Amino acid sequence: MSAAVPRVVVAAPSSNAGKTSVATGLVAALTTRGLAVSPHKVGPDYIDPGYTGLAAGRPGRNLDPVLVGEERVVPLFLHGARGADVAVVEGVMGLFDGATRPGLEPGFASTAHVARLLHAPVVLVVDASAQAQSVAALVHGFATYDPTVRLGGVVLNRVGSDRHEEILRDALGGSGVPVLGAVRRLAELGTPSRHLGLVPAAERSAEALATVGRLGGVVAGAVDLDAVLRLARTAPALDAVPWDPAAEVPRAEGRPRIAVAGGAAFTFGYAENTELLEAAGAEVVTVDPLRDEALPEGTAGLVVGGGFPEVHAADLSANESLRADIAALATRGGPVAAECAGLLYLARSLDGVPMCGVLATDAVMSDRLTLGYREAVALSGSVLAPAGTRVRGHEFHRTVATPAAGSAPAWRWADRQGPAHPEGFVSGGVHASYLHLNWAGSPALAERFVAACAVRSTDRAALPEGARHAHR
């Protein structure tokens, strides 16, 4: 099956060149034109897709060969791009910078790697703020370094003046790589950052919408959108079948209700995880721990993904009724899957304020950033995975939980700092860990979790009416 989706990959020579701003502005500008734009992000990052997704009005989806496997990248891309007129794929780090895990070849999971898999032309965003004629050498190097990656155009970013732009364009005149646009230095278009990068778009609400709108206006005025679209349309059809969550998991009986944490404190989550839960037969509902005082009626299981609970710790703690409801769900054996921020929320305390008290651990902010892919093995059987299950995940946080593991640890993995060690907690129906997982790479996780919720839902339905309310 061949599928033709016009597409470009937005890359850069290095991090901090402005590719997120340009990619977001490009998505916003094309959407304003009336096109259906499918936004994607190379790598595991949750925050950047929030901005491109906000600009497009549809989920920003990650394409990560480490987390989901090389063979799923194109099917997942086609799944996300269903019904789209054009797709914009934002890269990660520098164009050729990939994962550095042992056993992975150099450049694996880089922007170039994903561009090759997608047969997509690359638009290189160059920070020209401190360059003149040297920009030609830089672009020449990136255009010729790997002949399997097609550099289709350049967007000059942080250009200082008309004269600066003229010098840059003249220097690139003989490069064979067209200049698609030149964006001036505009400090007001910056997006606010904190300890893990950009502030998530979901937290900024109206402010984020305004930023996305301004980025769209700037890119529309500075970049030749018609040239970008022509370039996107040179991408060939992809000979693959779109990923289908319903083909990945069997459907459980009973349609158990699973609450997924959302709102400003829990903004990190892969769209495919929820789609797999639904495909496996669950009714997925959202609960906002900052606002909702109880779990939705009939909740059989709970998923608490990533985010920034440390920023909202006081307000999360103040919602005592929901914390008690979650603790009660865990006490009676209800399936709970928590990762990173979810682990912090289930802990006894976070930076000294009470959390849900489900886990016998306390968490605090630290100065050390823990970051990287992990090859993990399940040490304890749980509602997510049998013992011995192997997964690839990603760790990204500046908090420390003490102890780091319970008597029945969730996983064991090794990082660059030392030998393999146990991490996380399995207790009753609770599975909590710092490890972020894209379930598209391991669909059996969703299948097992929904099945466990279906059993709990059936058990609950068998209770007398009064007992059901007592066990809420």
Instruction: Write out the catalytic residue numbers.
Output: 340
Angstrom distances, CA of residue 10 to CA of 82, 154, 155, 196, 235 = 20, 9, 9, 22, 14
Residue 314 phi, psi (nearest 5): -60, -45
For residues 107 and 12, give the distance between their C-alpha atoms in angstroms, rounded to a whole number.
15
Instruction: Please state, in angstroms and rounded to a whole number, the distance separating the CA atoms of residues 393 and 375.
Output: 7
Describe the crossing of helices 162-171 and 134-144 by its angle, rounded to 10 degrees.
50
**Using CA atoms, how far apart are residues 368 and 364, in angstroms rounded to an integer?**
11
- Residues 6 or more apart whose CB falls under 8 angstroms from that of 207 comprise none
- DSSP conformation letters of 90-107: E--SSTT-----TTSPTT
Closest CA to 338 of 382, 299, 296: 382
Helix (H, G, I), strand (E, B) or coil at 188: helix
